[in-house]
């Protein structure tokens, strides 16, 4: 049928996440369908209230299906070291799931949609403490099963329908990533394990209209465990397999170490010379991050522009660039996203700031041919791996939004800002010599408070300020604006290959 409206929530809302969902929509979205992605923290009561209000109030939607599958991994927490993280996980996987259902029930009653219940697929589990060391995971899953009784006792019918999915061993998910190594042993014990795609297919089957009609009459229990709930001594099997894998790894490591030791002893001279000759450090991977070109098929949303102009007669000039307090777009993004520079970012900014330069020729320090970076002042070779340690602190202090550096602003010192102060003359002053233009300007500004006259044939003029004339004298004041977004210290347009005549026309 198509045309569904889907609201997806994510606790890691970022550009990468939105692009992921955008790609899904482009591949599978049908005519009239909508996909909306919003940030959401299921551990927050405020987020739950805001989400339900947003759906029913602002969007004016009603909910047909709800899949509250948020989970928090709590590996290593046992009964003797339960902490706040375990309580948070319990809150996310139980308390706020019930709270979310309650808010949806209230919203449906408020907006008069009681005859259109929302089917909630509950994430149940056969793990009721069988694994151990997973905090309150088992307790939260057992407690969710009480919803089957609450549906009747608290009169949810007409508002909420329940389909409980007992999810089996699913390989490759965040919660089960630590157990992927022992999945094969579980299969050997007669239990079916699932890939994420297989389990997703099973869960989507619960949204079938036939299952939905049954769930509207009574809660549905779907056993998708693959027999995991029938397996006894689960923890013993897992621990045994982990121990076997650990012993196998240790044996193989010892064998490899002994073999390497024998080869080293047998060819000791060869290994020592080779190590001395090949003592190198990793090079940085400098890249130009140009925008990725999309395929024609990925631009379906722009096909309506086709035929508007004759492309054979249109000149298109495109390009992009950035110059700012953090250098360029690449280095600025590293500051914004990570709060520090990578090795590649340090190299790029160090070059932009004139701290290093590239050298290809005889090294003054060693007398040998050298290709690589050298310090701009000493011409001493600098390895890629050492640039961050050597220049990172200086780069951080002289880039970005920072205290004004007078050497970058023509000697301007914000603590000694010069202003002109107007002063009235209290008595006639002695005459002084000036040019004709200056004398005329003084006369124009003070009128009868200034006398001017020409000094013979010399071409100069005399000026005398009379009592009451106004003159402007410089005065130093302390400015309250000490911070600015300056270009990186040492930035020079010539370093980018821009010719002198263009540089002289630009005010950085």
Which pLDDT tens digit goes with each residue over 244-254?
888 889 899 99
In contact, 395 and 341? CB cutoff 8 Å: yes
pLDDT band at 56 (very low <50, low <70, confident <90, very high): very high
Backbone phi and psi for residue 485, each to the nearest 5 degrees, phi listed first = -90, 80
The predicted model gives 427-452 an average pLDDT of 85
Residue at token pair 């309150």: 136
Query: Do 344 and 285 touch, CB atoms closer than 8 A?
Result: yes
pLDDT digits (tens, 9 = 90+) for 95-147: 999 999 999 999 999 988 888 899 999 999 888 887 777 788 889 999 999 99
CB under 8 Å to 102, separation ≥6 — which residues? none
pLDDT of res. 409: 66
Using the 8-state DSSP alphabet, how is residue 324 labeled? B
**% of the chain surpassing 90 pLDDT:** 28
The closest of 53, 63, 57, 50 to 7, measured between CA atoms, is 63
Number of residues in the chain:
508
Q: How confident is the model at residue 2 (pLDDT cuts 50, 70, 90)?
A: low
Q: What is the pLDDT of residue 119?
A: 94
* Spatial contact of 354 and 339, defined as CB atoms under 8 Å apart: no
Q: How far is CA 395 from CA 81, 431, 487, in A?
A: 44, 55, 12
Residue with tokens 């923890």: 235
188-209 residue pLDDT tens = 888 888 888 999 999 999 999 9
**pTM score:** 0.52
326 contact partners, CB below 8 Å, separation of at least 6: 332, 335, 349, 399, 400, 488
């Amino acid at each position: 049928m198509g045309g569904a409206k889907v609201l997806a929530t994510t606790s890691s809302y970022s550009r990468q996440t939105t692009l992921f969902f955008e790609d899904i929509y482009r591949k599978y979205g049908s005519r009239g369908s909508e996909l909306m992605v919003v940030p959401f923290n299921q551990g927050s009561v405020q987020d739950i209230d805001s989400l339900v209000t947003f759906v029913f109030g602002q969007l004016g939607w009603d909910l047909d299906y709800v899949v509250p599958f948020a989970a928090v991994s709590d590996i290593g927490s046992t009964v003797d070291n339960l902490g706040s993280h375990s309580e948070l996980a319990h809150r996310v996987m139980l308390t706020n799931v019930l709270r979310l259902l309650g808010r949806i029930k209230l919203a449906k009653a408020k907006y008069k949609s009681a005859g259109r219940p929302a089917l909630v697929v509950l994430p149940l589990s056969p793990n009721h403490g069988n694994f151990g060391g997973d905090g309150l995971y088992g307790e939260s899953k057992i407690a969710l099963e009480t919803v089957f009784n609450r549906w009747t006792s608290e009169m949810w019918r007409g508002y909420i329908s329940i389909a409980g999915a007992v999810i089996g061993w699913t390989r490759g998910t965040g919660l089960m990533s630590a157990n992927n190594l022992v999945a094969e042993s579980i299969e050997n014990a007669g239990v079916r394990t699932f890939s994420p795609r297989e389990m997703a297919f099973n869960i989507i089957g619960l949204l079938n209209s036939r299952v939905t009609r049954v769930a509207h009459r009574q809660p549905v229990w779907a056993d998708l465990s693959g027999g995991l709930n029938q397996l006894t001594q689960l923890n013993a099997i897992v621990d045994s397999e982990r121990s076997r894998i650990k012993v196998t790894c240790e044996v193989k490591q010892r064998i490899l170490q002994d073999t390497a030791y024998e080869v080293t002893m047998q060819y000791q001279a060869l290994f020592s010379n080779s190590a001395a000759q090949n003592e190198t450090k990793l090079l940085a991977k400098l890249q130009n991050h140009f925008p990725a070109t999309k395929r024609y098929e990925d631009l379906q949303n722009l096909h309506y522009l086709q035929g508007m102009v004759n492309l054979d007669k249109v000149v298109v000039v495109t390009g992009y660039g950035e110059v700012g307090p953090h250098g360029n777009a690449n280095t600025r993004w590293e500051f914004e996203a990570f709060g520090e520079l990578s090795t590649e970012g340090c190299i790029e900014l160090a070059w932009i700031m004139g701290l290093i330069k590239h050298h290809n020729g005889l090294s003054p320090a060693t007398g040998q041919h050298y290709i690589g970076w050298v310090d701009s002042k000493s011409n001493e070779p600098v390895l890629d791996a050492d640039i961050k340690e050597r220049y990172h602190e200086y780069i951080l202090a002289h880039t970005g939004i920072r205290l004004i550096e007078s050497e970058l602003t023509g000697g301007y010192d914000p603590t000694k800002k010069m202003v002109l102060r107007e002063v009235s003359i209290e008595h006639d002053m002695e005459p002084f010599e000036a040019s004709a233009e200056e004398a005329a300007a003084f006369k124009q500004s003070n009128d009868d408070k200034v006398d001017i006259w020409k000094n013979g044939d010399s071409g100069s003029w005399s000026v005398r300020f009379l009592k009451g004339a106004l003159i402007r004298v410089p005065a130093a004041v302390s400015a309250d604006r000490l911070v600015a977004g300056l270009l990186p210290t040492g930035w020079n347009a010539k370093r980018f290959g821009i010719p002198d005549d263009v540089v002289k026309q630009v005010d950085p």
